[in-house]
């Protein structure tokens, strides 16, 4: 007589069998003492498992109202929409900055015209107009100067109010202004400027940072922090964020700076618990897509797939400084040592 296998008895007791299977098992059980004993043993095992697992319950549970979740879902949806807008905005900003920067390179230090060719313009003040073509957030901007507009003359020191270059960014491709010789027609730049979108996508930080964060000006943050803003000297500041901490202590600060490679590193300073909490949250949060031309080269050799980069932290009394960024850990180590020495000397 074939006895009922153990797993079938589990499934039977768990009501995981079809009606016909149940009937079959029940009729067998009615006649088989061995299987009855097995069934009772398994029933006891089930009960023990349930009892053991019951001990592994969280100490407390405070469900929020469903209405709260509904509001959060609605808010998330609108944040997603805003993020898309903001990403487009950031992309055009990056394109504008990159183009302005390269225009500066081409034109020389004083914005003076080495490209002062073309029909001599009678205008008293040179007004270079730069048109950037951009097909989308990740497009490589091409830069062209129309013959008429590229009438750059050296700006005399005594000339009244030299005007800055106008930079226009167009989201969609339009016909480039005809470049006629001997006008300066700048072809797509080689190498194209690297667009590091993910790093300057400012609204992302909103999602990553919890609590009451304020994005501040450098001066404002400095005033608040008492001239001890964590940062690496000599790098452009992308963003300064400050969160007040308890007991009127110095706030928690995050300074985002951009390396010449386009990577953004963040320097964090604050009470130890806040910083480690922030770092752990940061590591947990979805690293997100990195829309980046320089991504492959930026990935650290140790963990090539990890887009979040490395984190280096250092304890200073009851406070902690940390640097995060897609850099080799040795670089971060050097940076944090320098930072530590600088902050100590202040």
Q: Give the residues lining the site for other proteins (CB under 8 A).
A: 6-11, 14-16, 42, 45-46, 48-50, 52-53, 55-64, 66, 69-70, 72-73, 76-77, 272, 276, 279-280, 283-286, 303, 306, 308, 310-317, 320, 329, 333, 336
- Comparing CB distances to other proteins, the nearer of 42 and 126 is 42
At 321 the three-state DSSP class reads: strand
Give least dist CB 36 to other proteins, A: 17
Q: What span, in angstroms and rounded, lies between the C-alpha atoms of 16 and 28?
A: 17
Give least dist CB 44 to other proteins, A: 10
- Comparing CB distances to other proteins, the nearer of 23 and 283 is 283
Q: How long is the chain?
A: 346
Give least dist CB 30 to other proteins, A: 21
Q: How many CB atoms lie within 10 A of CB 47?
A: 10
> Shortest CA distance to 261 belongs to which of 309, 313, 207?
309
For the residues of 142-188, what is the DSSP string, one character each?
Answer: EEE--TTT----PPPTTSS-PPPPEEEEESS--PPPP--TTS--PPS
- Please, how many CA atoms are within 13 Å of residue 278, restricted to the half-sphere of its CB? 32
Q: What span, in angstroms and rounded, lies between the C-alpha atoms of 94 and 291?
A: 13
Give least dist CB 306 to other proteins, A: 7
> Shortest CA distance to 134 belongs to which of 170, 100, 105, 160?
170
- Comparing CB distances to other proteins, the nearer of 229 and 312 is 312
- Comparing CB distances to other proteins, the nearer of 66 and 158 is 66
- Comparing CB distances to other proteins, the nearer of 72 and 163 is 72
Q: Are 269 and 320 in contact (CB under 8 A)?
A: yes
Give least dist CB 255 to other proteins, A: 19
- Comparing CB distances to other proteins, the nearer of 216 and 326 is 326
Q: How far apart are the first and last CA of the chain?
A: 87
- Sequence-ordered strand ranges (E) for the chain: 129-133, 142-144, 166-170, 213-216, 237-243, 252-258, 264-271, 310-316, 319-325
Give least dist CB 262 to other proteins, A: 21
Q: Are 162 and 190 in contact (CB under 8 A)?
A: no
Q: What span, in angstroms and rounded, lies between the C-alpha atoms of 39 and 9?
A: 6
- Comparing CB distances to other proteins, the nearer of 7 and 26 is 7
Give least dist CB 17 to other proteins, A: 8
- Comparing CB distances to other proteins, the nearer of 74 and 176 is 74
Give least dist CB 73 to other proteins, A: 4
């Amino acid at each position: 007589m074939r006895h009922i296998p153990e797993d079938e008895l589990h499934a039977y007791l768990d009501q995981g069998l079809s009606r016909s299977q149940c009937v079959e098992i029940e009729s067998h059980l009615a006649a088989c003492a061995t299987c009855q004993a097995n069934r009772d043993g398994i029933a006891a095992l089930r009960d023990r498992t349930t009892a053991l697992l019951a001990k592994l319950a969280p100490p407390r549970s405070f469900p929020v109202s469903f209405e709260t979740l509904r509001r959060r879902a609605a808010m998330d949806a609108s944040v997603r929409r805003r993020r898309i807008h903001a990403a487009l905005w950031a992309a055009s900003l990056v394109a504008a900055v990159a183009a302005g920067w390269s225009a500066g390179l081409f034109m020389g230090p004083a914005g003076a015209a080495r490209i002062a060719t073309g029909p001599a313009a009678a205008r008293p003040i040179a007004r270079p107009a730069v048109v950037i073509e951009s097909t989308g957030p990740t497009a490589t901007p091409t830069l062209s100067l129309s013959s008429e507009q590229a009438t750059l003359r050296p700006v005399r020191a005594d000339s009244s109010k030299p005007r800055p270059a106008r930079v226009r960014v167009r989201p969609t491709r339009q016909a480039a202004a005809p470049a006629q010789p001997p006008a300066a027609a700048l072809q797509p730049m080689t190498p194209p400027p690297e667009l590091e979108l993910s790093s300057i996508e400012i609204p992302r930080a909103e999602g990553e940072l919890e609590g009451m964060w304020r994005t501040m000006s450098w001066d404002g943050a400095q005033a608040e922090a008492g001239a001890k803003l964590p940062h690496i000297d000599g790098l452009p500041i992308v963003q300064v964020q400050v969160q007040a901490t308890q007991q009127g202590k110095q706030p928690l600060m995050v300074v985002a700076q951009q390396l010449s490679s386009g990577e953004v590193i963040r320097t964090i300073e604050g009470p130890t618990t806040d910083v480690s909490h922030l770092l752990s949250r940061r590591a947990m949060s979805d690293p997100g897509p990195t829309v980046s031309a320089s991504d492959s080269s930026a990935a650290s050799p140790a963990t090539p797939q990890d887009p979040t980069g490395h984190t280096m932290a250092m304890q200073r009394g009851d406070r902690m400084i940390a640097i995060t960024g897609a850099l080799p850990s040795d670089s971060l180590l050097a940076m944090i040592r320098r930072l530590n020495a600088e902050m100590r000397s202040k």
